[in-house]
Structures are given as structure tokens and as C-alpha cells.
């Protein structure tokens, strides 16, 4: 199947290889300030990553030249991006407004957004999960969870 992308550089493996090369090269800079023996292993690994990524890039471009189409990384990019964003938002909310409030909102929100729409089921699941976490971790194990930077705690 011929390449369906507008540019061969937009193939997932090519983009990944380029990303690794850039990041590994950036990480190489601090190794100059290290003692030679301390820098040995990290420098070898970073140079290895660059060389291997070049090989990966060349192999992928060769496939593109041969007319081999690269599979997309996901068939539902909006769902994947949405899932990632919700997870990151949950972590940020936990950090800034506190664990219990964020968790009580996230469980039904994520389940609702991704297709489980039973209000009673969501309510029961949220109460059971949050209640169990409180009973086991807070009450039973005295585990402190974030109370929220926003509230100055």
C-alpha cells in the first residue's frame, strides 16, 4: 500500500527516531561536566541511542521508499488524547485541590466520558472505591494523601 501521509517524515517510527536523537543529544551535553569514569556508561548509552535511532530512521525511510504504509499508532486518536489528558488532569487536581475531591470526581467522569452511562452504577462504584480507599489507606494504614496546594495545605 502506498504511503498515505503527506510527508514521509511524519511516519510514527521516523518521528520517534528523530525525537530520541534530539533528546539523547541534549542529554549528552551534561556528561561533559562529569568525571570520565562517571560519564562512561551514560555517554555510551546516549551515543548508542543516537546510532540505533539513526538505523531505525533509515530502515523506516527505506520501507517508505518501497511503498510500505506505516500503521497509525491508534485508530481513535481523540479517545487516546482524551484519556491521557484526563489522567494528567486527575494528577494535577490531586496535587492542587486534594485527593478525595479529585478521586470522587474522576471515577464517574472518566467512566461517563468513555461510555459507561449508568448514574446508579457510577454512584455505587464511586462510593465503594472512595470508601474502600479511605477505610484501608487513611483509616487502616494512616496514609496521608495530598490535601491540595490550592488550599494552602
Partner 1 sequence: MYSDLLHALPNVFALTNFAAVVIGVIAGIVVGAMPGLSATMAISVLVPFTFGLEPLVALGLMAGIYNGAMYGGAIPAVLLRIPGTPAAVATTFDGYPMAQKGQGGFALQVAVVSSSIGGIASAFALMLLAPPLSKVTLLFGPSEVFWVAVFGLASIIFLLGGNPVKGLISACFGVFVSVIGSDPIYGNDRFTFGQLEMLDGINIVILLVGLYALPPVIDLLETPLKTDGVNSSNLGTEPIWKALPRMKYWKTWIRGSLIGIWIGILPGAGGSMAAFMSYNEARRTSKHPETWGEGEPEGVAAAEVANNADTASALIPALTLGIPGTAVAAVMLGGLLVHGLQPGPMLFRDNPDIVFGFMWQFLFGAILLVLLGGSLATNSFARLLNLPRPLLGSVIIVLMLIGVYSIHGRMFDVYLMLGFGAIGWVMDRLKFPLPPVVLGLILGGFAEENLRLALRIGRGDPMILFQNTTSLILVALTIAVVVGPTLKKRFIDGRKEV
Rounded distance between C-alpha atoms, residue 65 and residue 42, angstroms: 34
The nearer residue to partner 1, 65 or 123, going by C-beta atoms, is 123
CA distances from 121 to 1, 28, 124, 147 (A): 45, 52, 5, 27
Contacts with partner 1 by CB under 8 A lie at 12-13, 16, 20, 27, 30, 34-35, 37-38, 41-42, 45-46, 48-49, 52-53, 55-56, 59, 73-74, 76, 79-80, 82-84, 87-88, 90-91, 94-95, 103, 106-116, 121-122, 125, 129, 133, 137, 141, 143-146
Find the radius of gyration of the CA atoms of the chain. 23
Question: What minimum distance in Å lies between the beta carbon of 78 and partner 1?
Answer: 10
Q: What is the DSSP string of 11-45?
A: SHHHHHHHHHHHHHHHHHGGGGGS-HHHHHHHHHH
Rounded distance between C-alpha atoms, residue 26 and residue 113, angstroms: 38
The nearer residue to partner 1, 64 or 107, going by C-beta atoms, is 107
Question: What minimum distance in Å lies between the beta carbon of 2 and partner 1?
Answer: 21
Question: What minimum distance in Å lies between the beta carbon of 139 and partner 1?
Answer: 14
Amino acid at each position: 500500500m502506498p504511503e498515505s501521509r503527506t510527508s514521509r517524515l511524519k511516519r510514527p517510527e521516523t518521528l520517534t527516531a528523530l525525537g530520541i536523537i534530539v533528546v539523547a543529544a541534549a542529554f549528552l551535553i551534561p556528561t561533559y561536566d562529569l568525571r570520565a569514569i562517571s560519564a562512561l556508561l551514560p555517554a555510551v548509552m546516549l551515543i548508542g541511542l543516537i546510532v540505533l535511532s539513526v538505523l531505525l530512521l533509515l530502515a523506516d525511510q527505506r520501507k517508505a521508499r518501497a511503498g510500505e504504509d506505516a500503521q497509525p499508532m491508534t485508530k481513535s486518536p481523540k479517545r487516546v488524547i482524551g484519556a491521557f489528558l484526563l489522567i494528567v488532569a486527575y494528577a494535577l487536581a490531586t496535587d492542587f485541590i486534594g485527593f478525595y475531591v479529585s478521586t470522587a470526581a474522576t471515577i464517574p467522569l472518566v467512566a461517563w466520558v468513555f461510555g459507561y452511562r449508568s448514574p446508579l452504577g457510577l454512584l455505587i462504584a464511586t462510593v465503594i472505591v472512595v470508601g474502600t480507599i479511605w477505610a484501608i489507606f487513611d483509616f487502616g494504614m494512616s496514609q496521608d494523601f495530598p490535601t491540595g496546594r490550592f488550599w494552602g495545605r
